[in-house]
């Protein structure tokens, strides 16, 4: 492979039209491999599965065929291929590039070192028209192949994934993924390129560390260009935020920040933005070098897995402040991103912000964010159903249309893209988010971990405008507590029961459905706690944009507390796990009285949790007396 790489690098800038005479397109016979149905976030499998013979090739050939079919039978002219840097990233990129070239895709864009965060890929698809590196400027990306399993661990025994984003930069919809799946059941051959002709074939290898602009002509009609991973994404962020005022915030006395990249793809982007553009020092970054196994960590930015950041922010794993630590000695803002840089965790000094609160606070502070302010405010906001209603309360008070969607970013994507590709309704400028640590807007069509960080920095910047040097800065905690005082607090917490036997997990759901949703009339009396179940519904959704219907999106138990205030518990099965089933229980309880807002969420929600677990017979059905993770 080393020798091949050496020869391949001669096909660069200088002699870019000098196609290697040795390169040949070959058709390889194959047969269908079962189990290739992509989920909402692409196909995720253990690395060992991806490494089986023809696996990547079969899947990518079917992906290309599906993309061509959905493009009216015309060949896709331009495609970006990038991954989150996890184990198998580079090898898969090489394989994929060969398949794409052999199929006649004219321009294949690969970022230097093969690594881009998921939001950055979305930005490339939406924005990149040309670069100095040999592209003529007529091309726009028709789509992107993103190699990621998001927040799942990486390594030889862990997960790898491939997903396809369409021309809008958003994950391909179900129609596409189903059509792709059907092809995987019928495939009989794929195309690829080899060097050395059929007598002594060897793979064509691209040097991913080549300078930006390097081109490899894989066939006379197909070229790989090594592109700058940062440029389009930076432009996207610059269109949202005022970098000058963020830079001023970063240089203020007393402002300190910690960013945890969890050894994923978000790290280099955070460095590029926070250090190179905004002037923070390198010491503000932790784990920002991508590693194939994420340094052995589980790259999911929550209280459990971002434990080092969490403790640096003066927090216990349950999100409460460590009482012995003086908040004035802690960083002003702490943030983490997941493996592919689309999720975010936000914390202040001794203060954890739940994703649902984060979304509501950003909504209420839209004036601080130029992207929204310059366009006259928010045209629409949305949250996933299991997220708390904190957003709804703000939206209602401020007269902003608010949507509650099933879990999954694609529902937001439809709302955001309605103007460009559906009925023309303009819901923008748009803000959306989920309890699962996803926040974003219509600057791209993926959630965006770094966008959320800059949104919070913008809010902090504005909140501290009137504060003179030497005075204590207004912090994250102050901002959120003021928000609660204004709108009330939605105590929120999620219990995850991971690796539950699938039958048992289904039984939990069926019990709730049969007993409380269908048998609604026979709602049981409250337990000793006085918490009363008042109604139960199963969430379904009719997409206002494309009219599609989605059912069975979570079971909602509505309660009335002894105070008369409402509370809610949602049960849902995870759609992203890779072994067994994960039952999620989402707890939410509204409290208007500011004197009660400083209680810790797990304490405030304890009785509600116990009552819900009792009603659904969690322990009896699953054998679990405690959740695996509480976030
Ligand atoms: C992915 C999607 C999110 C979604 C999450 C739910 O991260 O991109 O939009 O909220 O999965 O995961 P779950 O495991 O709860 O189905
Ligand atoms: Zn992710």
Indicate which residue's Cα is closest to atom 2 of ligand 1: 408
Q: Is the peptide bond prior to 429 cis by the omega test (within 30 degrees of 0)?
A: yes
For residue 205, what pLDDT is reported? 85
Cβ-proximal residues to 549 (8 Å cutoff; 6+ apart), any chain: 540, 541, 542, 543
| Residue 17 pLDDT class (50, 70, 90 cuts) | very low
Please tell me the distance between residue 404's alpha carbon and the centre of ligand 1 in angstroms.
15
Q: Quick one: which ligand is closest to 152's CA?
A: 2
More confident site: 630 or 529: 630
Using CA atoms, how far apart are residues 141 and 143, in angstroms rounded to an integer? 5
Determine the distance separating the centroid of ligand 1 and the alpha carbon of 211, expressed in angstroms: 36
Mutate which of 408, 435, 444 to test ligand 1's pocket (most atoms within 8 Å of Cβ)?
Answer: 408
What lies within 8 Å, CB to CB, of 483 at 6+ separation is: 357, 360, 361, 364
Atom of ligand 1 nearest to the CA of 384: 10
Note the residue count of the chain: 631
Using CA atoms, how far apart are residues 426 and 424, in angstroms rounded to an integer? 6
Question: pLDDT-derived band of residue 2, with 50, 70 and 90 as boundaries?
Answer: very low
* Mean of per-residue pLDDT scores for the chain: 91
With tokens 């066939």, the residue in question is 219
Residue 247 has pLDDT above 60, yes or no: yes
Give the pLDDT score at 6.
29
350 in contact with ligand 1, CB cutoff 6 A? no
For residue 326, pLDDT over 70 is answered with yes
Residue range 219-229: mean pLDDT, rounded: 93
DSSP 321: B
pLDDT band at 8 (very low <50, low <70, confident <90, very high): very low
Q: Write down the pLDDT at residue 316.
A: 93
Alpha helices in 422-530 (DSSP H): 449-463, 476-487, 502-512
Residue 382 pLDDT exceeds 60: yes
How many Å lie between the centroid of ligand 2 and the Cα of residue 419? 26
The answer to whether residue 16 scores a pLDDT higher than 50 is no
**89 Cα to the center of ligand 2, angstroms:** 15
Atom of ligand 1 nearest to the CA of 584: 15
Q: Name the percent of the chain lying above pLDDT 90.
A: 78
Question: Is pLDDT at 7 greater than 50 in this prediction?
Answer: no
Q: What is the pLDDT of residue 4?
A: 33
Is any atom of ligand 1 closer than 6 Å to the C-beta of 439?
Answer: no
Q: What is the number of the ligand closest to the CA of 433?
A: 1
Among all bound ligands, the one having the nearest atom to the CA of 262 is 2
Ligand with the closest atom to the CA of 440? 1
Using the predicted structure, report yes or no on whether residue 623 has a pLDDT greater than 50. yes
Task: Specify the pLDDT at position 104.
Answer: 94
**For ligand 1, what atom is nearest to the CA of residue 576?**
14
- Which residue segments constitute the domains of the chain, with CATH numbers given? 2-233 (3.40.120.10), 239-487 (3.40.120.10), 489-630 (3.30.310.50)
pLDDT of residue 136: 47
What percent of the chain has a predicted confidence (pLDDT) above 70?
93
What is the distance in A from the centroid of ligand 2 to the CA of 187? 30
User: What protein residues have CB closer than 5 angstroms to ion ligand 2?
Assistant: 150, 338, 340, 342-343
Nearest CA to ligand 1 atom 1: 408
Q: How confident is the model at residue 232 (pLDDT cuts 50, 70, 90)?
A: very high
Ligand of minimum distance to the alpha carbon of 343: 2
Predicted pLDDT at 358: 98
Give me 35's structure tokens: 């189990």
Count CB atoms within 10 A of the CB of residue 479. 20
Residue 527 has a pLDDT of: 66
Determine if ligand 1 sits within 6 Å of the CB of residue 576.
yes
Tokens (6 digits) for 259:
């960013």
With 60 as the cut, is the pLDDT of residue 484 above it? yes
Distance 113 CA to ligand 1 centre (A): 27
Dihedral of CA 394/395/396/398: which sign?
positive
- Which amino acid residue places its CA nearest to atom 15 of ligand 1? 574
User: Would you say the CB of residue 434 lies under 6 angstroms from ligand 1?
Assistant: yes
Rounded Cα gap, residues 613 and 412, in angstroms: 31
pLDDT value of position 9? 32
pLDDT grade for 421, boundaries at 50, 70 and 90 = confident
The finding on whether 578 has its CB within 6 A of some atom of ligand 1 is no
* Ligand 1 site, residue 364, Cβ cutoff 6 A: no
Task: Kindly tell me if the per-residue pLDDT of 185 is higher than 80.
Answer: yes
Question: Whose C-alpha lies nearest to ligand 1, atom 9?
Answer: 408
Helices (H), 113-195: 118-127, 174-184
Q: What is the mean pLDDT of residues 2-31?
A: 56
Beta carbon of 408 within 6 Å of any ligand 1 atom:
yes
Ligand 1 mutation target, pool 173, 411, 436, 627, most atoms within 8 A of CB: 436
Lowest mean pLDDT among 6-20, 59-73, 217-231, 456-470: 6-20
For the CA of 171, the closest atom of ligand 1 is 8
Active site residue 150: yes
More confident residue, 138 or 147: 147
Spatial contact of 167 and 143, defined as CB atoms under 8 Å apart: yes
427 or 27, higher pLDDT: 27
Phi, psi of 586 (to 5 degrees): -105, 125
pLDDT of residue 523: 67
Mean pLDDT across the stretch 597-606?
92
Check pLDDT > 90 for residue 470. Answer: no
Residue 132 predicted with pLDDT over 60: no
Please report the pLDDT score of residue 522 as a whole number. Answer: 64
417 has a pLDDT exceeding 90: no
Would you state the pLDDT for residue 169?
Answer: 93
Give the pLDDT confidence of 63-81 residue by residue, as tens digits.
999 999 998 898 888 999 9
Q: Which of 70, 117, 122, 150 is catalytic?
A: 150
pLDDT above 50: residue 282 = yes
pLDDT digits (tens, 9 = 90+) for 530-565: 889 999 999 999 998 888 898 999 999 999 988 888
Q: What tokens appear for 90 in the block? A: 């580079």
Closest CA to 350 of 387, 320, 375: 320
Residue 390 belongs to what H/E stretch?
helix 390-398
Above 90 in pLDDT, residue 312? yes
ipTM reported for the complex, 2 dp: 0.97
């Amino acid at each position: 492979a080393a020798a091949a790489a050496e020869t391949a690098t001669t096909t660069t800038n200088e002699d870019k039209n000098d196609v290697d005479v040795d390169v040949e397109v070959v058709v390889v016979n194959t047969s269908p491999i079962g189990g290739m149905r992509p989920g909402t976030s692409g196909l995720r499998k253990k690395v060992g599965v991806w490494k089986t013979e023809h696996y990547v090739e079969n899947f990518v050939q079917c992906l290309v065929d599906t993309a061509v079919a959905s493009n009216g039978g015309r060949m896709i002219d331009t495609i970006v291929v990038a991954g989150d840097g996890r184990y198998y990233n580079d090898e898969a990129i090489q394989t994929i590039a060969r398949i794409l070239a052999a199929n006649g895709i004219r321009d294949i864009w690969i970022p230097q070192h093969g690594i881009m965060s998921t939001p950055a890929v979305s930005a490339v698809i939406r924005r990149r028209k040309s670069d100095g590196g040999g592209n003529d400027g007529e091309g726009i990306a028709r789509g992107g192949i993103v190699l990621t399993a998001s927040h799942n661990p990486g390594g030889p025994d862990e997960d790898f994934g491939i997903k396809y984003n369409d021309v809008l930069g958003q994950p391909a919809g179900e129609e596409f993924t189903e059509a792709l799946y059907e092809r995987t059941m019928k495939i009989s051959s794929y195309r690829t390129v080899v060097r050395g002709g059929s007598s002594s074939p060897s793979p064509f290898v691209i040097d991913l560390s080549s300078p930006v602009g390097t081109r490899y002509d894989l066939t006379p009609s197909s070229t790989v260009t090594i592109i700058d991973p940062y440029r389009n994404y930076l432009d996207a962020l610059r269109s949202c935020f005022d970098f000058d005022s963020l830079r001023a915030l970063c240089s203020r006395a007393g402002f300190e920040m910690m960013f945890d990249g969890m050894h994923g793809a978000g790290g280099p982007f955070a460095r590029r933005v926070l250090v190179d553009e905004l002037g923070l020092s390198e010491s503000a970054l932790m784990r920002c070098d991508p590693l194939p196994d994420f340094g052995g960590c589980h790259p999911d930015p929550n209280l459990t897995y971002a434990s080092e950041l969490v403790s640096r922010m003066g927090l216990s794993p349950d999100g409460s402040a460590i009482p012995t630590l003086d908040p004035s000695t802690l960083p002003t803002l702490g943030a983490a991103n997941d493996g592919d840089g689309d999720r975010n965790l936000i914390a202040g000094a001794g203060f954890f912000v739940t994703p649902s609160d984060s979304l509501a606070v950003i909504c209420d502070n839209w004036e601080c964010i130029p992207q929204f302010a310059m366009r006259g405010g928010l045209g629409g906001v949305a949250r996933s159903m299991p997220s708390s209603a904190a957003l709804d309360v703000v939206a209602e008070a401020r007269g902003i249309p608010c949507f509650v969607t099933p879990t999954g970013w694609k529902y937001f994507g439809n709302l955001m893209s309605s103007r460009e590709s559906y009925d023309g309704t303009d819901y923008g400028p748009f803000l959306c988010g989920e309890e699962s640590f996803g926040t974003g807007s219509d600057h791209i069509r993926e959630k965006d971990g770094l966008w959320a960080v800059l949104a919070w920095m913008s809010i902090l910047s504005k909140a501290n405008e009137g504060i003179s040097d030497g005075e204590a800065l207004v912090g994250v905690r102050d901002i959120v507590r003021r928000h609660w005082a204004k709108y009330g607090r939605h105590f929120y917490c999620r219990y995850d029961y991971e690796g539950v036997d699938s039958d048992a997990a289904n039984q939990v759901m069926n019990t709730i459905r049969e007993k409380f949703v269908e048998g609604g009339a026979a709602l049981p009396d409250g337990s000793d706690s006085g918490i009363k179940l008042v109604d139960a519904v199963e969430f379904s959704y009719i997409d206002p944009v494309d009219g599609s219907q989605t059912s069975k999106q979570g079971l909602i138990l509505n309660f009335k507390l002894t105070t008369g205030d409402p509370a809610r518990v949602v049960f849902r099965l995870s759609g992203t796990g890779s072994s067994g089933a994960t039952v999620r229980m989402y707890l939410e309880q509204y409290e208007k009285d500011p004197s009660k807002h400083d209680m810790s969420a797990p304490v405030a929600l304890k009785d509600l949790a116990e009552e819900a677990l009792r009603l659904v017979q969690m322990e009896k059905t699953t054998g679990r007396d405690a959740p695996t993770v509480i976030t």
